[in-house]
């Protein structure tokens, strides 16, 4: 690790690069200057600008993927969101995760007076002002979240979703310890605070895989463009891992990128559980009617009322349109029998069709999701609530009705 020498002359008494974490790694004929930054520090912004001014680089790389880069450059990008398509393609969780990241960043900006990611913006501006190539080297945030989710067990998934929910609904100050961790860590890790430090598998998908990925992307881009001097601006928490993989990895960079870009296959356990539930329900109906029409009718009625009723209640709690509530009631008894269908999807699609979000809803979205009441006022966030609460109600109904079937089986 090194730092640039202090400037001479009387115009400045403080060197912006003094004490800043800088590593230089030479690989394949290219020297990579890695600047570790804190995502909430004006000192990091000043260091980026100073390093870009003092040294000549062929390209500037930033710890951003394309979606996060667009979000940084276009704060109103959410206004272009096709909510109907989001629900239909099953990307509600991804949108909610991105809203959690935005809500967390907004809290930090309000508390500290500096927008998280300002150092990345400074690097982008430096590259553009000098006409240098700008590389976005981080892995797509959607891929990272999906791989992170599938890397851990069901209990960690519950904790991860709890952290997501807290980031969305809590509007209190970020404590000092969390800010200090952020200065040495990673924005995604800090959004789901404390998880990475407690789970090796979560850390692997959320941090270590991205270190490998960014190192490979740097090597790949440098070879493609024939660069000899590259500045890479990354969070301080990535500096050690990134430099190590950049220096020592023997795997071809194209192979690394392809492997870490691949979405994990759907878990077989989830499919088998869905099949088992469907078999149990259908078998329970068959067994009930075999014992008598009254028994079968009772089990069928319990199933419809438990799943349909609780699914409809969930939709109603989300402030759903009356027709969305009816759609939730009608679909909830059927969707648990099909692993690819969700009552939340059905009701949310009806909701977004009947209550199309306006431009004003999208404009206010980032502010509205920062408060609990705002989730119900905004038509965009209310569709997301519709999806989650309807699905949750149906799931509870499945367990209640399934337990009643098991009781009847052993009566």
DSSP letter string, 166-229: HHHH--SPPPHHHHHHHHHS-HHHHHTTTHHHH-HHHHIIIIIHHHHHHHHHHHHHHHHHT-SE
Strand order from edge to edge, sheet including 30-37: 22-27, 30-37, 229-235, 59-62, 133-136
Burial classification of residue 228, based on how many CB atoms lie within 10 Å of its CB (0-12 exposed, 13-18 middle, 19 or more buried) = middle
Task: Locate 130 and state its tokens.
Answer: 């000098």
More confident residue, 109 or 324: 324
Rounded CA gap, 302 and 286, in Å? 15
158-167, 332-341, 368-377, 392-401: segment of lowest average pLDDT: 158-167
The candidate with the shortest Cα–Cα distance to 372, out of 290, 317, 310, 315, is 317
Contact 330, 392 (CB under 8 A): no
pLDDT, residue 296, reads: 84
Read off the pLDDT of each residue in 306-321 and give the average, rounded to a whole number.
95
Which tens digits make up the pLDDT trace of 271-307? 676 677 777 778 877 888 888 888 888 888 999 999 9
Which secondary-structure segment (H or E) carries 361? helix 359-368
Closest CA relative to residue 386, chosen from 303, 338, 327: 327
70 pLDDT higher than 60? yes
Are 91 and 188 found together in one domain?
A: yes
Note whether 279 and 234 are same-domain residues.
Answer: no
Last residue of one domain, picked from the residues 261, 282, 311: 261
pLDDT in the model for residue 96: 75
- Domain limits at 382? 268-410
Domain boundary among 233, 261, 289: 261
Prediction pTM value: 0.73
In whole angstroms, give the CA distance from residue 153 to residue 171.
Answer: 29
Mean pLDDT of the residues in the chain: 82
pLDDT of 9 reads: 44
Pick from 237, 261, 285: which residue ends a domain? Answer: 261
Instruction: List own/partner pairs for 285-288 with CB under 8 A and 24 or more apart.
Output: 287/409, 288/405, 288/408
Quick one: 55 and 121 in the same domain?
yes
User: Mean pLDDT throughout 240-255?
Assistant: 94
Residue 183 has pLDDT above 60, yes or no: no
Residue 198 domain flag: yes
169 and 116 part of one domain: yes
Could you tell me if 240 and 103 lie in one domain? yes
132 and 54 both lie in a single domain? yes
Instruction: List the single range of 22-31, 130-139, 175-184, 338-347 with lowest mean pLDDT.
Output: 175-184
Q: Is residue 163 part of a domain?
A: yes
Tell whether 355 and 273 lie within a shared domain: yes
| Nearby residues of 265 by Cβ (< 8 Å), 6 or more positions away | none
Assess whether 179 and 92 both reside in one domain.
yes
Residue 105, CA distances (Å) to 102, 115, 152, 206, 237 in order: 5, 7, 25, 18, 18
CA distance 66 to 356: 28
Whole-angstrom Cα distance, residue 341 to residue 329? 14
- In angstroms, the Cα distances linking 150 to 135, 187, 266, 271, 276 are 28, 20, 9, 14, 21
Asked if residue 291 and residue 255 are part of one domain, the reply reads no
pLDDT for residue 139? 94
* 199 Ramachandran zone, left/alpha/beta (phi>0; psi -120 to 50): beta
Whether residues 218 and 297 fall in one domain = no
Share of the chain above pLDDT 70, in %: 76
- Does the residue 58 lie in any domain? yes
Instruction: Report how many domains make up the chain.
Output: 2
Residue 115 phi, psi (nearest 5):
-75, 125
Q: Are 58 and 230 in contact (CB under 8 A)?
A: yes
Predicted local confidence at residue 51, as pLDDT = 94
Is residue 27 predicted with pLDDT exceeding 90? yes
- How high is the pLDDT of residue 170? 57
What pLDDT shows up at residue 393?
94
User: Could you report the per-residue pLDDT of 204-222, keeping only the tens digit for each?
Assistant: 777 899 999 999 999 999 9
Residues 278 and 239 in one domain: no
Assess if residue 222 is contained within a domain. Answer: yes
145: left (phi over 0), alpha (psi -120 to 50) or beta: alpha
At 171, is the pLDDT very low, low, confident or very high (cuts 50, 70, 90)?
low
95-113 per-position pLDDT tens digit: 777 777 776 667 666 766 6
Of 57, 69, 38, the residue nearest 234 (C-alpha): 38
Same domain as 215, residue 142 = yes
Judge whether residue 320 has pLDDT over 80: yes
In this predicted structure, the answer to whether residue 187 has a pLDDT above a threshold of 70 is no
CA 184, 134, 66, 32 dihedral sign is negative
Would you place residue 128 in the very low, low, confident or very high pLDDT band (cuts 50, 70, 90)? very high
Query: 128: alpha, beta or left, given left = phi > 0 and alpha = psi -120 to 50?
Result: alpha
Largest CA distance in the chain: 97
Instruction: Identify the residue whose tokens are 């961790």.
Output: 181
């Amino acid at each position: 690790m090194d730092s640039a020498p202090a400037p001479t002359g009387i115009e400045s008494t403080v060197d912006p690069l003094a004490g800043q974490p800088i590593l230089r790694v030479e690989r394949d004929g290219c020297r990579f200057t890695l600047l570790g930054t804190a995502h909430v520090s004006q000192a990091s912004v000043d260091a980026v600008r100073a390093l870009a001014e003092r040294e000549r680089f062929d390209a500037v790389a930033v710890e951003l993927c394309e979606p996060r880069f667009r979000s940084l450059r276009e704060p109103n990008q959410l206004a272009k969101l096709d909510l109907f398509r989001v629900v239909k393609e099953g990307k509600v969780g991804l949108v909610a995760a991105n809203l959690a990241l935005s809500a967390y960043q907004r809290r930090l900006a309000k508390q500290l007076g500096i927008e998280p990611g300002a150092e990345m913006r400074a690097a982008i501006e430096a590259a553009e002002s000098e006409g240098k190539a700008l590389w976005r080297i981080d892995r797509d945030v959607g891929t990272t979240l999906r791989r992170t989710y599938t890397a851990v067990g069901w209990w960690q998934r519950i904790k991860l979703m709890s952290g997501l929910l807290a980031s969305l609904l809590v509007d209190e100050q970020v404590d000092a310890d969390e800010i200090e961790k952020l200065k040495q860590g990673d924005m995604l890790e800090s959004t789901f605070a404390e998880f990475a430090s407690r789970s090796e598998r979560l850390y692997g998908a959320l941090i270590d895989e991205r270190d490998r990925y960014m190192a490979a992307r740097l090597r790949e881009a440098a070879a493609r463009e024939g660069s000899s001097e590259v500045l890479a601006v990354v969070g301080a928490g990535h500096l050690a891992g990134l430099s190590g993989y950049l220096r020592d990895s023997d795997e071809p960079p194209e192979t690394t990128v392809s492997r870490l870009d691949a979405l994990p296959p759907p878990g077989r356990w989830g499919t088998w559980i869905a099949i088992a539930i469907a078999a149990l329900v259908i078998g329970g109906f068959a067994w009930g009617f075999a014992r008598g029409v009254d028994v079968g009718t009772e089990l069928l009625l319990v199933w419809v009322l438990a799943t349909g009723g609780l699914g409809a209640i969930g939709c109603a709690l989300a402030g759903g349109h009356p027709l969305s509530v009816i759609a939730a009631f009608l679909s909830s008894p059927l969707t648990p029998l099909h692993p690819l269908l969700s009552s939340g999807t059905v009701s949310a699609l009806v909701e977004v069709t009947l209550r199309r979000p306006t431009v004003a809803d999208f404009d206010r979205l980032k502010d509205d999701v920062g408060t609990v009441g705002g989730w119900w006022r905004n038509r965009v966030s209310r569709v997301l609530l519709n999806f989650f609460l309807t699905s949750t109600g149906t799931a509870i109904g499945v367990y209640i009705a399934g337990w009643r079937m098991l009781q009847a089986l052993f009566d």
